[in-house]
Structures are given as structure tokens and as C-alpha cells.
Chains A and B, each alone.
Chain A
Amino acid sequence: MIKENKPNLSQDEIWREPVNLALFRKPQGKVHVIAERCKECNYCTNYCPNEVLERSTNTNSHGYHYVQVKAGKESSCVNCGMCQTICPDFAIFVTEVQ
């Protein structure tokens, strides 16, 4: 229903830029994985808001398909820290890219 009533405008036409936008930049993060600690619980892959992470086809020495950054998504991390906070295994963390 809502979809039908939506004005037929493209994103560019409705988008209004804040006047001070130039002062801000989207934070960028780098994901680090300690593969040996990963237990494949999938919390980070599921809760990453930008869907940056996936399970590797490789396994670590304990037999778990550890987490890795998806190919082509290397610069999509916004350094929100959700993966680090939700990881029960201290296996993933992010650092800010300046």
C-alpha cells in the first residue's frame, strides 16, 4: 500500500543535503579476525549492519569455518563495533581507518 502511494521520484530528487555535510565523513573501520579463536557462532555475520562478514570455506585448526570479510566489502565497515561487542570468543575486533 505504502509503496503504491510513494511519489514517483528518484533518490537524487528527494535527497536534501545538510549544509555542513562536508564537515563529516562516514567512519571507516578495518575488521581483524583471530581465526583460531572463532567458533562459527555466526553472531557477527548476522548482526553486522552492513553485512560485511561471511563464513570462510576454510577451517581453523579446531574445525570451525572462521569469519572473514566478504570480497569487495573491505571498505564497507563503518567501525560500529557491533561484531566486537557481540563476539563471545574475542575473535574479532575493529580499528578505525583514518
Chain B
Amino acid sequence: MSIEEVHPKSQFLRDERLPHIWCPGCGLGIVLQSYINAAEKSGIRLENHVLISGIGCTARLPGYANLDTYHTTHGRGIPFATGMKIANPDLKVTVISGDGDLFNIGGNHFIHAARRNMDLLVVCVNNFNYGMTGGQHGSTTPPSSLSSSTPYGNIEQSFNLPYLAAAIGASYVARWTVMHPRQFTKSLSKAMDIRGFAFVEVLSPCPPNFGKFNGFSDGFAEMEFYRKNSVVDNEAKLEDVSIDPHHGKQIILGEFVNKRRPSFIELEREVNRRAMVVEK
């Protein structure tokens, strides 16, 4: 490899593992690059960034980042991260996982971490289906979508993730798409400074599965859909930000919640200080 072929971000990547396993047109590489850029800008020592994931396509992302990274079991990234953050509060722990991992099998852990205001940044890469197992539908698949397990169209309502996260008490909630990498990076950077539970949803194309089933000829077609059908509205009423492209609904993006309430680590520290006094 000649000098000029070294990517400027290679020091943050496990370069020897590239090219990665993701399909052509998959947005996960953009998410990885955005995360790296955000971590660089965050003002937190790079050594203190820890990246944790569950299982799935997105969950392979930490394996390409040159940080301390943990690839755990399906749906259990958040409780694993909870343990690590409490044990080692100096770390900036980020959980990056897919919609299936975080909200189907791991949904319980998500709502409890948000309720506790656990000091974690959770990034959900939402591609509206289970990518790794071949495009089955899940709790984020929009109504009427086709998938390999909804051949007659999805009859279930999908989760409105920002509304869900905000309702439980997340300190920071935002949604972007990989077509908006600069806004997404800025948002991640901001979320890394949040004390408490921060949640960023990022929509990403899944060309061979969700895309193929739902009329997008390739990744570019899905990217164009995001470009043309997204509006940024930070003040949006969250109950209205559900994703329903098959019924002509626009996708609403933005930074929806940014509020301060005491985080788990702050409260635990206070309680433990009192308990230590009792011991003496």
C-alpha cells in the first residue's frame, strides 16, 4: 500500500480487517465514520471511549473501530454496558446496535436503561428489518412493508423510537439518516457529552433486504428517498414522528430532546458516599 492510499481515519480503524463484511450500499460504514469523527471531536480521551454491541450487522461495527470494543450476545449490549459503566465510570460507553437487537430482543433493557437515566449513549441503526438473517420483519418495520416474513405486507404497527425513548425519560433524543452524515456526527458528538441516557436513531439503507422488498432498486435509491422525503423539525411533536413511508408520510428528523436530570452514576455516587460514612 503506497502512502497516499492510507485513509485519513485509518488510525481509528482496524485497517487490517477492511474491507468490512457489509453489503454494497449499506449505511453502516457511514455510521462508523460518523462515530469516529464524533469521538474525535468529543473532547473525551479516545482511550476512554468503549464501543459495545449486541448481535447483528450493526453489532459488527465495533469490531472495525480501533478502540476497546465488545461484541456481546443478542439484545444484551445495554445491560453489559450498564455493568461496565458502573464498574468503570470514567469510560464513555456507547452501545451501537441494530433495531432488531435493541428493540425486539433487547427492548426490555432499553426501556430500563432509559428509565434509570443510565450514563450511556445508545445508537440504533434502524434499517427496518433483520438484515443478517435475510430481511425478516421486526418491531420497526413500517406498516404494509414487505419482508421475507411478511409476504402479504406487515400488519403490525411499528415502534416510534424517539417517542418511546422520550416517554421513558431519555436525556437526549435525536434522529438522523446516513444521508445526513454531518448532522448525525454533530448530534453524536453532543450526545457523548450528555450525562445520562442519550439515544440517537439513524436510518440506514439495507439494499438486499428491506430495500429490495420495498421497491428500492439499490442503496442509492433508498438514499435518494431519505434525501427527498426527510424534513428536519427539532420542535416536532414526538407522537407524530413515526415512520410510515408506504402511506406517504414524510420522515421527520432532528434533535428532539435535550434535557438535564440526575443520571444513575451521579445518584449512585451520592448514595454510596452516604453508605461509606455509615461504615466508618
Contact = CB atoms under 8 A, between A and B. Distances in A.
Q: Do chains A and B touch in the complex (CB under 8 A)?
A: yes
Contacts of A89: 18-20, 29
Contacts of B30: 85-88
A88 B19 contact: no
B33 interface: yes
Interface in A63-98: 64, 84-91, 93, 95
A46 B88 CA distance: 45
B19 A93 contact: no
Given A43-B219, A88-B29, A88-B30, A93 B7 contact: yes
B133 to A, nearest CB: 21
B18 A37 contact: yes
B24 interface: yes
B181 A88 contact: no
Nearest to B179: A86
B9 A43 contact: no
Nearest to B13: A90
Interface in A22-59: 32, 34, 36-37, 39-43, 46
A83 B27 CA distance: 14
Q: Label chain A's interface by main secondary structure.
A: loop
A69 to B, nearest CB: 13
A41 B25 CA distance: 5
Contact of B28 (A84, A85, A87, A88): A88
The bracket for how many chain B residues form the interface is 20 to 34
Given A62-B19, A85-B181, A88-B30, A43 B25 contact: yes
Interface string B203-231: 00000000000000011100100000000
Contacts of B9: 90
A88 to B, nearest CB: 3
A86 B181 contact: yes
Contacts of B191: none
Interface string B181-219: 110000000000000000000000000000000000011
A95 B18 CA distance: 21
B4 interface: yes
A87 to B, nearest CB: 7
Nearest to B223: A43
B225 to A, nearest CB: 13
Contacts of B220: 41-43, 46
B8 interface: yes
B26 interface: yes
Interface string B125-155: 0000000000000000000000000000000
Interface of B: 4-5, 7-10, 13, 18-20, 22-30, 33, 178, 181-182, 218-220, 223
* 4 residue pairs, one from A and one from B, having the closest CB atoms: A88-B29, A39-B24, A41-B25, A37-B19
27 contacts: A32-B5, A34-B5, A34-B7, A36-B19, A39-B23, A39-B25, A41-B25, A41-B218, A42-B219, A43-B219, A43-B220, A62-B19, A64-B24, A84-B8, A85-B181, A85-B182, A87-B33, A88-B25, A88-B26, A88-B28, A89-B20, A89-B29, A90-B7, A91-B19, A93-B8, A95-B4, A95-B8
Interface of A: 32, 34, 36-37, 39-43, 46, 62, 64, 84-91, 93, 95
Given A42-B219, A88-B25, 5 more contacts: A37-B18, A41-B218, A41-B220, A85-B181, A88-B26
